[in-house]
Amino acid sequence: MTTSRADRLAILYDIGRTINSSLDPEEVLNLVMDKVVQVVRAERGFLMLSDERTGRLEFRVARNMDRQAIESTAFQVSRSITEGVAASGEPLLTTDALFDERFSSSASVVSYGLRSVMCTPLRSRGRITGVVYVDNRLQSGIFHQEDLDLLVAVADQAAIAIENARLYDTLRQQYEGMIQSLVEAIDARDRYTKRHSGRVTGYAMSIVAASSLPAKEAEALRHAAVLHDVGKIGVPEAILNKRGPLTDAEFARMKAHVLIGVDIVSPVASLADLIPLIRHHHELYDGSGYPDGVRGEAIPRGARILCVADSFDAMTTDRPYRPAKTVEEARAELRRCAGTQFDPAVVEAFLSSSERASTGSAS
């Protein structure tokens, strides 16, 4: 493939923009592999990353081949190439593997009809973090030095993007773990709502199962259900555990937990989808809720689901100021308040899902 310097720069710019458009590690790996195969016109290819503990190369993503093929004895040439490139740190190009003495003894060269192979290391912060491998068969054409140069340039960008995504994912997991610890701390402070977040998550997911939420929206709802009350870490324990009704001032402090929760979650960009759900899970369908008094369809769908799940758990749990309702009493209350406090469609989804669950357990 012959390209001008301007064309090459344009290709690299496009690749850089594409692979840096996400911080999800798996998505980045797939974007990298798609672009690699596209720009060098490879028939097959795969990417391996070094295990951070053992240093061994681990298969991560491929095009037109799979892990079983790479790990089979018939494709020993692929493994020897990747291991050699990772050890030496030098890219490899063969224009005709059938006559290349480095591979002439390999059965896979003959059995698969390999003609041309390229492999280059992925480098980040001065160390080799993986390799990218591509090949073509006899009828697919050969790679040239210009293709290898382009593959190396792509790999340099890819290594940075992959490392950034992995680091970001690690930070996100650490932050989510910290927030989960806060949730557990809240449970420990409020003996009446211990394990509340876990139960609300279960109820919310049962509503999802009876609805048609897209996977991404359902995942955001699951995380928001776990974290919906994280802001209660900023509410005095005396208010959380008070026996009897709250004063207006105390209720104002209690209501502030949704905004405190938003402040806790906001620093993590990957949790941005959770913010509207945490903020609005106490909004009511008729607009009489808090903190913003939004109503009906203006309330995010995930927040409407959380409101039903949260309310059902509150009704069926002993509180300092009242005993728990029975499940049937709570279900009747949901029906009574559908269209005022709660989204009728969400109530119907919850009741139908709980009916199916009770029928299933009875059978």
| Predicted local distance difference test score (pLDDT) of residue 309 | 97
Range 75-79 average pLDDT:
64
The reply to whether 163 and 194 lie within a common domain is no
Whether the CB-CB separation of 77 and 109 falls below 8 Å is answered with yes
Of 22-31, 143-152, 171-180, 183-192, the range with the lowest mean pLDDT is 183-192
The two structure tokens encoding residue 127: 């160390």
CA distances from 330 to 72, 284, 334, 350 (A): 58, 17, 6, 12
Name the phi and psi angles at 206, rounded to 5: -70, -35
Rounded CA separation 171/1 (Å) = 40
| 201 pLDDT above the threshold of 80 | yes
Query: Structural domain of residue 29, as residue ranges?
Result: 5-167
- Strands 57-63 and 92-94, by their bridges, are unpaired
pLDDT tens-digit map of 112-163:
667 788 999 999 888 899 999 998 876 667 888 999 998 998 898 888 888 8
User: CA triplet 226, 230, 234: central angle to 5 degrees?
Assistant: 170
Residue type at 74 in one-letter notation? A
Give 359's pLDDT tier (boundaries 50, 70, 90).
Answer: very low
Does residue 177 form part of some domain?
no
Percent of the chain with pLDDT over 70: 83
User: CA triplet 274, 277, 283: central angle to 5 degrees?
Assistant: 165
The reply to whether 94 and 214 lie within a common domain is no
If one compares 139 and 218, the residue with the highest pLDDT of the two is 218
The reply to whether 238 and 146 lie within a common domain is no
Give 362's pLDDT tier (boundaries 50, 70, 90).
Answer: very low
Range 76-105 average pLDDT:
76
The reply to whether 97 and 200 lie within a common domain is no
Give 193's pLDDT tier (boundaries 50, 70, 90).
Answer: low
Domain count, the chain: 2
Does residue 91 form part of some domain?
yes
Range 86-107 average pLDDT:
74
The two structure tokens encoding residue 358: 């009770």
Give 69's pLDDT tier (boundaries 50, 70, 90).
Answer: low
**Hey, which of 45-49, 137-141, 337-341 has the most confident mean pLDDT?**
337-341
Give 15's pLDDT tier (boundaries 50, 70, 90).
Answer: confident
| 363 pLDDT above the threshold of 60 | no
Range 57-69 average pLDDT:
80
Mean pLDDT taken over the chain: 84
pLDDT tens-digit map of 236-290:
988 988 888 899 999 999 999 999 999 998 988 778 999 999 999 999 999 999 9
| Predicted local distance difference test score (pLDDT) of residue 131 | 94
Site of tokens 């555990």: 241
The reply to whether 146 and 39 lie within a common domain is yes
What CATH number should be reported for the domain holding residue 243? 1.10.3210.10
Prior bond to 291 cis, omega within 30?
Answer: yes
Site of tokens 């480098």: 123
pLDDT tens-digit map of 308-319:
999 999 999 987
| 361 pLDDT above the threshold of 60 | no
Whether the CB-CB separation of 85 and 128 falls below 8 Å is answered with no
Does residue 182 form part of some domain?
no
Does residue 180 form part of some domain?
no
Domain-terminating residue out of 167, 199, 234: 167
The distance between the two most distant Cα atoms of the chain, rounded to a whole number of Å, is 87
Range 85-109 average pLDDT:
73
pTM of the full structure: 0.61
Range 193-202 average pLDDT:
86
Does residue 173 form part of some domain?
no
- Strands 127-137 and 114-124, by their bridges, are antiparallel
3-state secondary structure the chain: CCCCHHHHHHHHHHHHHHHCCCCCHHHHHHHHHHHHHHHHCCCEEEEEEECCCCCCEEEEEEECCCHHHHHCHHHHHHHHHHHHHHHHCCCEEECCHHHCCCCCCCHHHHHHCEEEEEEEEEEECCEEEEEEEEEEEHHHCCCCHHHHHHHHHHHHHHHHHHHHHHHHHHHHHHHHHHHHHHHHHHHHHCHHHCCHHHHHHHHHHHHHHCCCCCHHHHHHHHHHHHHCCHHHHHCCHHHHCCCCCCCHHHHHHHHCHHHHHHHHHCCCHHHHHHHHHHHHCCCCCCCCCCCCCCCHHHCCHHHHHHHHHHHHHHHCCCECCECCCCHHHHHHHHHHHECCCECHHHHHHHHHHHHHHHHHHHC
Whether the CB-CB separation of 19 and 161 falls below 8 Å is answered with yes
Does residue 172 form part of some domain?
no
pLDDT tens-digit map of 225-234:
999 998 998 9
